[in-house]
Structure 1
Amino acid sequence: MRSRLLPPRFTGGLHDARTATAIGRWLGPAFAVCFVTGLISHFLQHPPRWPADGIPSRPVWGYRLTQGLHVASGIAAIPLLMAKLWAVYPRLFTWPPVRSVWHGLERLSVALLVAGAVFEVATGLLNTAQWYPWPFSFVPVHYAVAWLVTGALILHIAVKAPQIRDHWSRRSPGTLALPAADGPDRRSLLTAVAAATGAVTLTTVGQSFTPLKDLALLAPRSPDHGPQGLPVNRTAAAAAVGTIPPEQYRLTVTGPRSFTLTLDELRALPQHEARLPIACVEGWSRTAHWTGVRVADLLERVNAPAHARVRVVSLQTRGGYRVSELGREHAHDPLTLLALTLNGGELTPDHGYPVRLIAPNRPGALQTKWVGRLEVLS
């Protein structure tokens, strides 16, 4: 007698809509925070031309906060997403798989949502470790898929709104009692998920929230490990800069009255101190003491217009971010420096010797190292 292949049956209460909704109450806000702060990060790294001059330079810790929240919420979303998928995966085996055109479109949107969400948290996590085992550029693809996931999530919430409403309250009608054979009950499961989320957050957030740096056991970076007490993402060797002889260094400033300065002449100019954080897209950040020449003073010397923007050009010969631009707010902020020292010592080559840019509320990738040229832009 020929046996009939039947789809698996799931009867446990933990695989129901109530559990999925309870986890979704946490996962939704985590995704929302991650998406909004990701938009802020992308805007600051790649500002459209028209609003670039209006990007604020204060508060000085603005980017540090938003990028820290972006990475922390993304990491917190990992155990939440795993628990959510565990609660709903039996629906993959519903029969028939497609009951109507509308049902087919719904399942397609869910497939896009799941695939996109897994892609975002996986690639984002690998980015924090600076490991890129894929052939595409991380930033534009991660940004584009974030919009795809957000659209699919909004559509999913709209379609499932009646069920979400029915199961949102802890005392939803019609909730089935959980059989003892199914093991831990829903409350135990949610407690475990909350504990896991709290644990991964507590052991990673210290890379940006330095009071907890000693607990950052799972973070790929410690914020105070590196030359001069500051991590390094891109070394001088990786940027093909090497060691720059001080007698050969020249800083060129172009504008209405262009000029060139040697390193000794740059050191002889009035020096100013600033206590500013440097925050990188990978999630780590650290406040440091910087000393150098104000970019605003150089703009005044070159007779730049009050509304001038500045292009900063590095001496590095390869790699991204060798050129960045300072909008009007940043270019004329008195805290924006061409730094010569870090934490009381001369810059090391890996930190941008002999001169690097440091500016408030700015992504670390745009804090150009090995600066060789400033160009005044109208």
Structure 2
Amino acid sequence: MDGTGVVARVRAARARAFPSRLHDDRIAAILGIALGVAFATCFVTGVLSYLIQDPPAWFRWPPRPAGLYRVTQGVHVIAGIASIPLLFAKLWVVYPKLFRWPPFEGVAHLIERVALVPLIAGGLFQVFSGLANVNLWYPYPFGFRGAHYWVAWITIGALVVHVGAKWATTRAALARTYDAGLPMGADQAGLDRRGFLGAVFATSGLLALFTAGQSVRPLERLALLAPRRPNEGPQGFAVNRTAAGAGVVAAARDPGYRLVVEGKVERPLRFSLDELRTMPQHEASLPIACVEGWSTTQRWRGVRVRDLLDRAGASDDAEITVRSLERGGPSRSAQVNRWHARDRDTLLALEVAGEQLDLDHGFPVRLIGPNRPGTMQTKWVERLVVR
């Protein structure tokens, strides 16, 4: 038997092994476009979040609009969760193609096939690790943020290669009508193509709807799948890391606590908690927007950071490293650029919602400022190091 006959027999066997008419190029194209939009949205908002937290010299994140990060990170998490049914549906539709024979035809096709490895593996890793992070579950021995960031670049690179390779195929599949190709009839299980796509998109939409309430206040009651409710916790909002978990209970309650302002200043300063309370106080309604996707707006009261900088004789373009009583972990310090440092609403908060800060919300003093990730709103502040 010649090679053509072998290929024909292999293809016939594959058709018998995968009889469902849902393994269809048009369905794959539609799901691929939706998944590409979701992945691109996650990539852009995710890279933005990474740059905000670890800014290179050229990047400057503004303090206004105050709730912008709340929007971008909420979109990131919602799009990531909505992509899960799209990803698995897409893989199910196209997986018979993984068993095609011959496995590739030419160098270009080989490159396309090889690019599927990081695309599929990266996509699965991103949705798994992202979902685990939302639930504060880390069953792997490496840091989440760095791995999630770099795998995102690998995955999006593989996606670009895949889009380029499949551009003509996708256009042809979308242009084709079912009247000109396979009939619109049901597959063996009785689910037609439109029904299948409708079920996938409905599942994706419901996941988004039942998660969005942790970021979108009017949908709060629908947040059935959100791992935490933003309005549940001490003083009416959630806590990710407790004082006990951070190991700061004794230091935060120490009567000898002092806030230190040091670094490039004319006058290094030290303040007791009572001295901070006697300084001019400012109030601001600002969001806490955590990288896990939940957010809430609270009314904060405390001392403006710029007032402390002026009292210490810092320059107008000074930037700050804010250090916590917490001695380990990524939240032990945060950077404050000069725009945030001089913003009228960047505070060292002493109160929230008209009450003294709860220990788990950062007592005695926490940083709060507009348009910042929650992980950079440092709790249990010990010192400001001016740069």
TM range (shorter): over 0.9
By how many angstroms is 1:83 displaced? 0.9
Distance 2:321 2:104 in 1: 56
Q: Does 1:196 align with 2:206?
A: no
Q: 1:150 aligns with which of 147, 156, 175?
A: 156
Contact 1:12 1:179 in 2 (8 A): no
Distance 1:174 1:112 in 2: 35
By how many angstroms is 1:177 displaced? 0.9
By how many angstroms is 1:246 displaced? 5.5
Q: 2:94 aligns with which of 88, 91, 94?
A: 88
Equivalent residue runs for 1:363-374 within 5 Å: 363-374=373-384
Q: Does 1:240 align with 2:247?
A: yes
Partner deviation per Cα, 1:56-105 (whole Å, 9 max, x = no partner) = 00000010000000000000000111111111011122123344443332
By how many angstroms is 1:186 displaced? 0.8
Q: Does 1:259 align with 2:269?
A: yes
Partner deviation per Cα, 1:242-283 (whole Å, 9 max, x = no partner) = 143363110111121111111100000011100000011111
Contact 2:178 2:184 in 1 (8 A): no
CA distance 1:289–1:237, change in 2 (3 Å): same
Q: Does 1:286 align with 2:296?
A: yes
SS at 1:325's partner residue?
strand
Distance 1:169 1:282 in 2: 40
* Structure 1 counterpart of 2:6: none
Distance 1:92 1:189 in 2: 21
* Structure 2 counterpart of 1:21: 29
2:365 maps to amino acid = V
Q: Does 1:221 align with 2:228?
A: yes
Identity of aligned residues (%): 52
* Structure 2 counterpart of 1:317: 327
Contact 1:223 1:231 in 2 (8 A): yes
SS at 1:134's partner residue?
coil
Partner deviation per Cα, 1:299-354 (whole Å, 9 max, x = no partner) = 11011111111111111122222111110100000100000011111111111100
* Structure 1 counterpart of 2:145: 139
By how many angstroms is 1:135 displaced? 0.6
1:19 maps to amino acid = I
Partner deviation per Cα, 1:84-142 (whole Å, 9 max, x = no partner) = 11110111221233444433322111122111101101110010001000011110111
* Structure 2 counterpart of 1:329: 339
Equivalent residue runs for 1:63-82 within 5 Å: 63-82=69-88
Q: Does 1:129 align with 2:135?
A: yes
Q: Does 1:338 align with 2:348?
A: yes
Distance 2:183 2:20 in 1: 10
Contact 1:295 1:332 in 2 (8 A): yes
Distance 1:304 1:181 in 2: 72
Distance 2:169 2:329 in 1: 50
CA distance 1:180–1:322, change in 2 (3 Å): closer
Partner deviation per Cα, 1:123-165 (whole Å, 9 max, x = no partner) = 1001000100001111011100101111111110101111111
* Structure 1 counterpart of 2:386: 376
By how many angstroms is 1:25 displaced? 2.4
Distance 2:181 2:164 in 1: 22
Distance 2:341 2:128 in 1: 36
Distance 1:280 1:96 in 2: 49
Equivalent residue runs for 1:33-52 within 5 Å: 33-51=41-59
1:118 maps to amino acid = L
2:342 maps to amino acid = H
1:216 maps to amino acid = A
SS at 2:213's partner residue?
helix
Q: 1:55 aligns with which of 53, 58, 61?
A: 61
Distance 1:81 1:346 in 2: 46
By how many angstroms is 1:173 displaced? 7.7
TM-score of the aligned structures, taking structure 2 as reference length:
0.92
Partner deviation per Cα, 1:207-266 (whole Å, 9 max, x = no partner) = 111211111111111110111111111111111101433631101111211111111000
Contact 2:349 2:366 in 1 (8 A): yes
Contact 2:22 2:187 in 1 (8 A): no
By how many angstroms is 1:170 displaced? 6.7
Q: Does 1:184 align with 2:191?
A: yes
Distance 2:255 2:128 in 1: 47
By how many angstroms is 1:18 displaced? 0.6
2:39 maps to amino acid = F
CA distance 1:23–1:291, change in 2 (3 Å): same
The number of equivalent residue pairs is 372
Q: Which segment is superposed worse, 335-344 or 105-114?
A: 105-114
2:276 maps to amino acid = L
* Structure 1 counterpart of 2:18: 10
Structure 1: gaps spanning 5 or more residues: none
